[in-house]
Structure 1
């Protein structure tokens, strides 16, 4: 198992999917699960900062998360929400929703079950998020904290949004990256941080291929490649 943590805009999702494909492993985007709950909260007309109502929505939501790195996908109450959860409204709501203690406990339990199933049936999984190495899977044999400068991450996020047809500017992306960093690293429950035994990989000056090569190199060093 590879636990890949780090802030927004580092390219975690793309990197994690490519590494999982290269290793014939499964893939889990834990952030998409928090985004799906945030979407459920918005659909219910609930204030994302109203913890009691957020908890009620989360308890009633039915998430199905795909683990095929080529087409992971996610559904909320039977609806395909893979595109909708990337919208700006969800991006604003996901931080307070994901800071709710019960929501994190609920989704961490689901994430651990998905990881256990992948390890039992395939033998490997690449999991990306913000608390994988510290909370979800503290015993993961390889923990990597992927980071980059805020400016680099904002530029990447703008390019990603433009490619997906979402309106974005570098200044707006930088403000959002900085907001998410502050919120995620200072929340009381499962704050974003590198695990004590994580390998910190700064990819400010690395392209996608270079980042993937670095991660696969770490997998090889640890002898974690899935075989037969």
Structure 2
């Protein structure tokens, strides 16, 4: 049995932090698949392109794939601002872009690299599209107001200006776009374990996830 954990959920639900902590605890390789779409959006905006246009988005995808061969482009802090996040959700509805990145994600899940015990992928369609056969699927959610406060705190910690109202409005718009898109809408897989992180801290989240991982993998 391949040791794959699929973690999905909306923006600022805590899935990224949990995924990193869980990967460290289990010695699993980790891929933040949302960063792939953010990186494509970044490439598009850097060239003055329109993230809603397929031609521009595919060019951004090709540019990203070329850079990934020799650079750790997914750890670029510039990918974390809300402008990139909004553009990423526009890029993510383009099926040809999704097709190109799906192959990359599946390859990582099946071959996470030497020295790792398994793979953790977090995103919005891991359990439903990328790794539907993953032995463990988690869906992390939280109240949208709490998620907006988390995102605002994150932005302020990076010296970026943001108001609660603007962040909340953006988050609601992204939720609607992500859950309403035709291509792999945001939703929990039928067999996903749903965890509400609204009132949970990092340690509690990790402890909960480790319990499920132990049941799944022994």
Q: TM-score, normalised by structure 2?
A: 0.91
CA contact (8 A) 1:33 1:63 kept: no
Deviations 1:70-102 (A, max 9, x none): xxx932xxxx76111112321221111111101
Corresponding residue pairs, total: 214
Tell me, what secondary structure is at the counterpart of 2:58?
Answer: helix
Residue 40 (structure 2) pairs with residue 37 (structure 1) = yes
Flag structure 1 segments of 5+ consecutive residues without an equivalent. Answer: 67-72
Comparing 111-120 and 206-215, the one that deviates more: 111-120
Equivalent runs, 1:36-75 vs 2, <5 Å: 36-61=39-64, 62-64=66-68, 74-75=72-73
Residue number in structure 1 paired with 2:23: 20
Residue 182 (structure 2) pairs with residue 188 (structure 1) = yes
Superposition deviation, residue 184 in structure 1: 0.4
CA contact (8 A) 2:30 2:119 kept: yes
Q: Paired residue for 2:104, among 105, 110, 122?
A: 110
Residue 202 (structure 2) pairs with residue 219 (structure 1) = no
Q: Which has the higher helix share?
A: 2
Residue 167 (structure 2) pairs with residue 170 (structure 1) = no
Aligned in 2, Cα 1:135/1:120: closer, same or farther, shift over 3 Å?
farther
Distance in 1 separating the partners of 2:67 and 2:101: 10
Flag structure 2 segments of 5+ consecutive residues without an equivalent. Answer: none
> How much is the aligned-residue C-alpha RMSD, in angstroms?
1.9
Distance in 1 separating the partners of 2:204 and 2:115: 30
Q: TM-score, normalised by structure 1?
A: 0.88
Residue 9 (structure 2) pairs with residue 6 (structure 1) = yes
Tell me, what secondary structure is at the counterpart of 2:68?
Answer: strand
Aligned in 2, Cα 1:173/1:189: closer, same or farther, shift over 3 Å?
same
List structure 1 runs of 4+ shifted beyond 3 angstroms: none
Superposition deviation, residue 196 in structure 1: 0.5
